[in-house]
Amino acid sequence: MIINEALDNLVDNIRDSNIYKKYNNILEKVEHNQQINLTVNDIKKLQKKIVKEKYALGNKSTMLEKSLEEKKAVLYSIPLYQDYIEAANDLNDLMKNVNNRLQTYINGLEI
């Protein structure tokens, strides 16, 4: 079917784009970076503790929240993680653009 081929071509073009290739390259490095992975795991643990603590104590600010903000600061100070965030944002922008254009075309159909 012609529509399926066109969609396959669209997906192939996205996969061949520099934005997607850059994102995948950085993602692979992030997945193998111990510092990033340990920091992300620490953040997740702190978030779970905060949720449990807030459930037990109400909405009071805790020392855990300060620790969480410190861990986030550490994570965002890692240059590779900053590159990852930038690449992810670029890829999201590309996908939003594709989605918006598809929606525009679909809205233009007289169905």
| pLDDT < 50 regions, the chain | none
pLDDT at 109: 84
Angle of CA points 31, 33, 34, to nearest 5°: 115
pLDDT at 26: 98
Question: Structural domain boundaries of the chain?
Answer: 1-33+78-111, 34-77
pLDDT at 15: 96
pLDDT at 2: 87
- pTM of whole model > 0.85? no
C-alpha span between 18 and 13 (Å, rounded): 10
